């Protein structure tokens, strides 16, 4: 097999065989095939796409590139959740404790912020003392004891994804359906859960902007899950504005705690309850949706979900008092409102730009390895469809360092459309797709 021939085959719309895909992935992970050839292959895939069989073969080759987690020593059904990436999306911090409170076991390996989107690990690290770096043994012990644990992926799980992801990030090949599907599903297949719920984001803050692409991505991933013997359901949810009002690490943890305390309603809570409901269904813990929904709602109102989060925080070395006193988390030194330049209605929010605004303030990384500031970010005061009066606050920026404030300010202003126009009809949860 010759790498250059395989790149040409893909470029010319050929279908790569399982053997060819395995050869490419094994060779790349072993350091025998250089970045520039794999970069060319990724770009060919970006343009030409992949047949379903190729996407499945790619996923399996990536999953087989490292070890697999064995969760069989944990009693009960293990159920996982993954989002394709969004802004202001702290659902994992709400959903995992809710499902644990209903008897599911959530052994979650999460990621860091990616481009304009946030990452659960970065959010959790704003809790003083909490460590997302746990050995596999301690991960399993925490899940068995608390019903949930949220940790970083160890280097020996799906190493092909780590390498390919870093290359995609710098070669304009992130937003490709087969590449996203294989990236996410390879990690889910090795992380040991029995059932999976996927939150596929659609809209201007998602990697897939349009409904056709998002639906295709959801169908591709659920089909891969089914083929691999994992029950998989995907919800397609809206990302045409930040899901919660908070964008930034400690701010998002605070908002998630407020939802778990029963103090906040809104889109973040609605999507979280829907995801948790699907997790109880896909795992077989509940037989019908009405029962699942009722279990989830009582886990929230009884305080048991909040209690589970506190237990997980303690088990991972963090200070569980943040549950009562969110002010124990880092706070930015200054709060600067962004005011509306005119009166009217908010008819569009550029969600990726809002994510980028928080990143400029230090909530995310401009380049690989940058450190982040857990305290900074922004809090939306207005949402899509709201009427605003000139001079009213649209959002409050939470700021520490002086650099980039002007840029972040302008970035936010450019992200908001205020006019007399009509709002496009939108839903929060568009579709449920099962594999
Ligand atoms: N999240 C992932 O893990 N991989 C992708 O390719 C996109 C989002």
Res 156 pLDDT > 90: no
Edge to edge, the sheet with strand 429-434 lists 79-83, 195-202, 231-238, 429-434
- Residue 196: which of 59, 86, 83, 311 has the closest Cα? 83
Which pLDDT belongs to residue 178?
98
- C-alpha 34: how far from chain center: 29
Which residues are catalytic, by number? Answer: 82, 161, 168, 183, 187
Per DSSP (E only), the strands in 94-228 are 106-110, 148-152, 195-202
Give the mutation target among 62, 85, 177 for probing the ligand 1 site: most ligand atoms within 8 A of CB: 85
Q: Give the position, in ligand 1's atom list, of the atom nearest the Cα of 165.
A: 6
Is any atom of ligand 1 closer than 6 Å to the C-beta of 85?
yes
Q: Give the position, in ligand 1's atom list, of the atom nearest the Cα of 187.
A: 3
| 429 in Cβ contact with 274 (< 8 Å) | yes
Is any atom of ligand 1 closer than 6 Å to the C-beta of 183?
yes
176/49 Cα distance (integer angstroms): 8
pLDDT tens-digit profile of 182-230? 999 999 999 999 999 999 999 999 989 999 999 999 999 999 999 999 9
Angle at 302 (CA atoms; ends 296, 304), nearest 5 degrees: 75
For ligand 1, atom 3, which residue shows the shortest CA distance?
184
How many angstroms does the Cα of residue 49 sit away from the middle of ligand 1?
A: 16
57/50 Cα distance (integer angstroms): 10
Is any atom of ligand 1 closer than 6 Å to the C-beta of 86?
no
Is any atom of ligand 1 closer than 6 Å to the C-beta of 117?
no
For ligand 1, atom 2, which residue shows the shortest CA distance?
184
| Helix H or strand E segment including 338 | strand 334-339
pLDDT tens-digit profile of 47-106? 999 999 999 999 999 999 999 999 999 999 999 999 999 999 999 999 999 999 999 999
Res 402 pLDDT > 80: yes
Looking at per-residue confidence, does 420 or 143 come out higher? 143
Residues 244-260: what's their mean pLDDT? 98
252/418 Cα distance (integer angstroms): 26
Res 368 pLDDT > 70: no
Confidence of residue 154 (pLDDT cuts 50, 70, 90): confident
For ligand 1, atom 1, which residue shows the shortest CA distance?
84
Q: Give the position, in ligand 1's atom list, of the atom nearest the Cα of 179.
A: 6
Q: Give the position, in ligand 1's atom list, of the atom nearest the Cα of 168.
A: 6
Distances in whole angstroms, Cα of residue 425 to Cα of each of 115, 185, 192, 419, 422? 28, 32, 39, 16, 9
For ligand 1, atom 5, which residue shows the shortest CA distance?
180
Confidence of residue 116 (pLDDT cuts 50, 70, 90): confident
How many angstroms does the Cα of residue 234 sit away from the middle of ligand 1?
A: 15
State the chain's mean pLDDT as an integer.
Answer: 95
Which pLDDT belongs to residue 377?
98
**pTM reported for the whole predicted model:** 0.95
- Residue 350: which of 413, 428, 286 has the closest Cα? 413
pLDDT tens-digit profile of 272-322? 999 999 999 999 999 999 999 999 999 999 999 999 999 999 999 999 999
């Amino acid at each position: 097999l010759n790498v250059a021939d395989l790149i040409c085959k893909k470029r010319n719309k050929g279908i790569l065989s399982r053997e060819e895909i395995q050869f490419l992935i094994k060779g790349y992970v072993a350091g025998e095939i250089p970045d520039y050839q794999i970069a060319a292959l990724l770009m060919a895939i970006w343009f030409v796409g992949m047949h379903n069989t190729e996407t499945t073969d790619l996923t399996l080759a990536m999953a087989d590139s490292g070890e697999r987690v064995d969760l069989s020593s944990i009693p009960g059904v293990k159920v996982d959740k993954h989002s394709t990436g969004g802004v202001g999306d702290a659902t994992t911090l709400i959903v995992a404790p809710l499902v644990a409170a209903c008897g599911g076991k959530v052994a979650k390996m999460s990621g860091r912020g990616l481009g304009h989107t946030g990452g659960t690990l970065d959010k959790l690290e704003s809790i003083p003392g909490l460590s997302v770096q746990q050995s596999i043994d301690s991960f399993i012990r925490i899940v068995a004891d608390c019903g949930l644990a949220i940790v970083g992926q160890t280097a020996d799980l799906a190493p092909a994804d780590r390498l390919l992801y870093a290359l995609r990030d710098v070669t304009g090949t992130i937003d490709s359906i087969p590449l996203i599907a294989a990236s996410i599903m390879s990690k889910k297949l090795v992380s040991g859960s029995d059932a999976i719920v996927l939150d596929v984001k659609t809209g201007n803050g998602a990697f897939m902007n349009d409904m056709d692409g998002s639906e295709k991505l959801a169908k591709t991933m659920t089909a891969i899950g089914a083929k691999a013997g994992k029950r998989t359901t995907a919800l397609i949810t809206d990302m045409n504005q930040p899901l919660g009002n908070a964008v930034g690490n400690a701010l998002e943890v605070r908002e998630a705690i407020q939802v778990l305390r029963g103090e906040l309603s809104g889109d973040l809570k609605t999507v979280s309850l829907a995801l948790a409901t699907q997790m109880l269904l896909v795992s077989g813990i509940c037989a019908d949706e009405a029962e699942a929904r009722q279990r989830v709602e009582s886990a929230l109102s009884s305080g048991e979900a909040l209690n589970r989060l506190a237990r997980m925080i303690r088990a991972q070395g963090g200070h569980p008092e943040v549950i009562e006193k969110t002010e124990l988390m880092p706070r930015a030194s200054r709060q600067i409102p962004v005011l509306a330049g005119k009166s009217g209605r908010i008819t569009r929010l550029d969600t990726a730009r809002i994510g980028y605004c928080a990143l400029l303030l230090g909530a995310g990384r401009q380049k690989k390895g940058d450190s982040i500031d857990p305290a900074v970010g922004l809090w939306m005061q207005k949402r899509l469809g709201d009427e605003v009066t000139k001079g009213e606050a649209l959002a409050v920026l939470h700021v520490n360092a002086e650099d980039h404030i002007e840029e972040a300010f302008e970035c936010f202003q450019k992200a908001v459309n205020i006019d007399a126009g009509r709002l496009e009809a939108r839903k929060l949860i568009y579709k449920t797709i099962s594999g």
